Amino acid sequence: MEPFIQVHSSFVELNTWQKADSQLVVGFSTRHGGVSKAPFDTFNLGLHVNDNQQDVVTNKNKLSQLIDYPLDHWVMAEQTHGTNIHLVTAADKGKGAFQYETSIQDTDGLITKEKNILLTAMFADCVPLYFWDQKTGWIGIAHAGWKGTVKQIAGKMVQALKDNGANVDSLYVGIGPSISQGNYEINDFVFNHIPIEFREQVTEKVSDKNYLLNLSSLNYYILVKHGIHLENIYQTNFCTYSNPLFFSHRYENGQTGRMLGYIGKR
């Protein structure tokens, strides 16, 4: 069953989690309902893609109102396709929300136990990873492109949460909308960076030097390796490349907007 439910033209929600905890706000924006002009039309939420900055802030304010989470409580990271993880505190509120330059630098994972903070990350084919420990209250979000994925940011997020007191047995992980295997062809350079133990499970050879990679499933297997129970992983079927709900960096040759993944507790 699809865990991400479209409840508005501008976003989908991880419905099961929100039903289990009424304080939880967790979802993923679409490309519809904003004011940005082509090629960022219309609900671009990325300040770093050469869109009109005021249009992006207007879009952010709209999402803020739709999900009832003040924009000055959002926290955003620079995202450099690495594996650095930042422990977010109240002092970080608003970072990256209004100006890209104030984003938390060189970071692709955010975790917190504090309430009234919205952890966010930007996407346009890469894999959004959401973390929620129902027992301890820890939450997190990570941006997993192919580089972050093969460096196992998924496992590093699990470890960071455990190191700070989360319980792996009650840790839930959501794998959000990303490019699907049938639309994600890679070369042998990328293939050779995939951990050997997972290569056969997540790739399909299409020529001498080209493969189709299931980036979502690669993150799934890494999460399982790091102790996440199968029944605690919620994996979407949404493909950002083929579904017109979403921006796709690959389909649109890099000239496109960004969706926002978000998670917070009121």
Q: Is residue 86 part of a domain?
A: yes
Dump strand ranges (E) for 95-134: 109-112, 118-123, 127-133
Apex CA 142: angle with CA 135 and CA 15, to 5°?
55
CA 111 to chain centre: 13
Which residues, listed in sequence order, are joined to residue 174 by a DSSP beta bridge?
A: 130, 234
Nearest Cα to Cα of residue 6 among 42, 30, 36: 30
pTM assigned to the model: 0.97
CA atoms of 28 and 126, how far apart (whole Å): 13
Do residues 140 and 112 make contact, with C-beta atoms less than 8 angstroms apart? yes
pLDDT score at 168: 97
Q: Is residue 119 part of a domain?
A: yes
Beta strand pairing call for 259-265 and 210-213: unpaired
Per-residue exposure over 49-88, b if at least 16 CB sit within 10 Å of its own CB, e if not? bebeeebbbebbebbbebbebebebbbbbbbeebbbbbeb
Per-residue exposure over 174-187, b if at least 16 CB sit within 10 Å of its own CB, e if not? bbbbbbbbeebebe
pLDDT score at 128: 98
pLDDT score at 147: 98
Q: Is residue 158 part of a domain?
A: yes
> DSSP class of residue 259?
E
Domain count, the chain: 1
Q: Is residue 190 part of a domain?
A: no
What 3-state DSSP class applies to 159?
A: helix
**Average pLDDT per 10 consecutive residues for the chain, totaling 266 residues:** 96 96 97 98 96 97 98 98 98 97 98 98 98 97 98 98 98 98 97 97 96 98 98 98 98 96 97
Contacts of 146 (CB under 8 A, 6+ apart): 126, 186, 190, 193, 213, 215
What 3-state DSSP class applies to 239?
A: strand
Which residues, listed in sequence order, are joined to residue 213 by a DSSP beta bridge?
A: 203
Q: Is residue 40 part of a domain?
A: yes
Q: Is residue 210 part of a domain?
A: no
Contacts of 100 (CB under 8 A, 6+ apart): 47, 48, 78
**pLDDT, tens only, 77-121:** 999 999 999 999 999 999 999 999 999 999 999 999 999 999 999
pLDDT score at 106: 98
pLDDT score at 3: 97
**Residue-number span of the structural domain to which 153 is assigned:** 4-181+234-265
Q: Is residue 49 part of a domain?
A: yes
pLDDT score at 60: 98
Structure token pair of residue 218:
């690669």
pLDDT score at 127: 98
CB atoms within 10 A of CB 113: 19
CA atoms of 94 and 73, how far apart (whole Å): 5
Q: Is residue 229 part of a domain?
A: no
> DSSP class of residue 178?
B
Do residues 142 and 108 make contact, with C-beta atoms less than 8 angstroms apart? yes
**pLDDT, tens only, 182-196:** 999 999 999 999 999
pLDDT score at 179: 98
Q: Residue 99 is part of a domain; what is its CATH number? A: 3.60.140.10
